[in-house]
Amino acid sequence: MSLTLFQKNSDKASKEAPLTCAHFNSCGGCTSQELPYSLQATQKEESIRLLFGKTSPLIEAPSPWRYRNKMEYSFGYVKGLLTLGLYKKHGEIEDLYECLIAPLWFMEIVEITRKWGQEYGLKSYYPRRDRGHLRTLTLRETSKGRMAILTISGHPDYAVSSIAIDSLLERMPLLSFFICTQVLKKKEPTQFLLEHLRGDAQIEEIFTVNMPSGNPQSFSFFLEPLAFLQPNIPQAEKIYEKALKMANIQPHETVLDLYCGMATLSHFASLLAHEVIGIEINPAAIKSANKNITYNKRLNIRVIEGDATHLPKADVVFVDPPRVGLSSDTISALIALKPSRIIYISCNPITQQKDIAALGYVAHTIQPVDQFPQTPHIENIVLLCAL
């Protein structure tokens, strides 16, 4: 095994190379690998045009390989042997040995963890019966650090010994490492208890965005292990650039950033607005957001922990919901708020199109961005203006 774990990634596959990995057609992840990237881009742009009747040209990814900064791998158990990988198209776990959209070191850690689990006789977690030791392995990378999160069962009959954990830590010495224990109790919500074992408790990422003036601006963001971060940073920067330009924020205006995560977009909007208010339901993201706001000295940003149904007054609203789209309560709250402009960012244009129809605004500008090469998924930005 080549120890790229101890090196910076230098593998940049050609944008034009029609590569396919050993797991293509069985793994449920990258279903478009057999298509040249130019054809993938054409099909994605056309899918937006069919949904909305018009679109700006798709912003293609600068590199369609090795772009993901986070992957969550699941443990399986086949014929008495522990497996580790991604879900197949039909629900089973594909035992993964190659992945062309993730950094090379991810596969090295997967292999190390799989062999470690096999050596210690550990089994994958079976949720229906609350049995087994190992649930998932999450790997994250930023420009400043690397992180691993091992999720294990909290069932006392399947406790992973400290000797076993120490052995795993010895095999991956340069990573920040966390254990996340799943705790089940009858008639209570599932809890995930996070324990920091080694390395930095947070890892830093730097975003650089070209502002509407043309000047680039950069901010550092510190990432909690369970906080959301866009999986493709170069394309996320393009999304923010386009969203800010569409918003045309004026110095006297208040901006509302719904589903704000760790307040990345909020930071850049704060350079243009009088005030930015972020709303986020994830406590880990709120913790990261507040740390980032303090670190970057953004005095005109505040974040509120809660769902996006009770909205303070604002002139401009950014919404970037999960794939299921906006709830009916959020749509009602936005209609009542009556902002002059809504910038709707979505990883699911189908639910986005339905939500826009319900909001009753005019879709003025539509900008697709390919954040997920080798897959059918696409990010789409729509500027909505009041009638």
Tens of pLDDT along 277-332? Answer: 999 999 889 999 999 999 999 999 999 999 989 899 999 999 999 999 999 999 99
Cβ distance 70 to 138 under 8 Å? Answer: yes
For CA atoms 166, 167, 170, 175, give the dihedral sign. negative
Amino acid at 237: E
CA 73 to chain centre: 14
The angle that helices 328-337 and 349-359 make with each other, rounded to 10 degrees, is 50
Using a 10 angstrom Cβ sphere, with 0-12 exposed, 13-18 middle and 19 or more buried, the burial of residue 58 is: buried
Q: What is the pLDDT of residue 130?
A: 87
Q: What is the pLDDT of residue 28?
A: 76
Report d(CA 74, CA 233) in Å as an integer: 24
Is residue 347 flagged as an active site residue? yes
pLDDT at 3 over 50: no
Q: What is the pLDDT of residue 268?
A: 98
- If you ran DSSP here, which 8-state letter would residue 65 be given? S
Structure-model confidence comparison of residues 7 and 382, the more confident one: 382
Q: What is the pLDDT of residue 15?
A: 55
Q: What is the pLDDT of residue 148?
A: 98
Report d(CA 316, CA 325) in Å as an integer: 19
Q: What is the pLDDT of residue 16?
A: 52
Q: What is the pLDDT of residue 13?
A: 43
**Taking the CB of residue 283, how many other CB atoms lie within 10 A of it?**
12
Structure-model confidence comparison of residues 246 and 15, the more confident one: 246
The answer to whether domain 47-62+203-385 has CATH 1.10.3720.10 is no
Tens of pLDDT along 109-144? Answer: 999 999 999 999 999 999 888 899 999 999 999 999
Amino acid at 316: V
Report d(CA 16, CA 27) in Å as an integer: 22
Choosing from 30, 99, 260, 347, which is the catalytic residue? 347
Residues 320-345, mean pLDDT to the nearest whole number: 97
Q: Is 183 left (phi over 0), alpha (psi -120 to 50) or beta?
A: beta
The overall average pLDDT reported for the chain is 92
Pair type for strands 146-153 and 362-369: unpaired
Residues 256-267, mean pLDDT to the nearest whole number: 97
Q: What is the pLDDT of residue 88?
A: 85
In order of 131, 132, 184, the CA distances from 187 in angstroms are 18, 21, 9
Cβ distance 227 to 211 under 8 Å? Answer: no
Fold of the CATH domain 70-141+146-198? OB fold (Dihydrolipoamide Acetyltransferase, E2P) (2.40.50)
Q: Is 39 left (phi over 0), alpha (psi -120 to 50) or beta?
A: alpha
Pair type for strands 176-183 and 146-153: parallel
Task: Provide, rounded to the nearest whole percent, the portion of the chain with pLDDT above 70.
Answer: 95
Write the CB contacts of 9 (distance below 8 Å, at least 6 apart in sequence).
66, 103, 104, 105
Q: What is the pLDDT of residue 18?
A: 55
Q: For residue 126, what are the β-bridge partners? A: 131
Q: What is the pLDDT of residue 209?
A: 98
pLDDT at 353 over 70: yes
Report d(CA 178, CA 182) in Å as an integer: 13
Residue 221: which of 279, 145, 149 has the closest Cα?
Answer: 145
Q: What is the pLDDT of residue 166?
A: 97
Task: Report the predicted TM-score, pTM, of the whole model to 2 decimal places.
Answer: 0.91
Task: Provide, rounded to the nearest whole percent, the portion of the chain with pLDDT above 90.
Answer: 80
Tens of pLDDT along 167-213? Answer: 999 999 999 999 999 988 777 788 889 999 999 999 999 999 999 99
The Cα angle at residue 257 between residues 365 and 373, in degrees rounded to 5: 60
Residues 232-256, mean pLDDT to the nearest whole number: 98
Q: What is the pLDDT of residue 5?
A: 40
Cβ distance 382 to 356 under 8 Å? Answer: yes
Domain map (residue ranges) of the chain = 47-62+203-385, 70-141+146-198
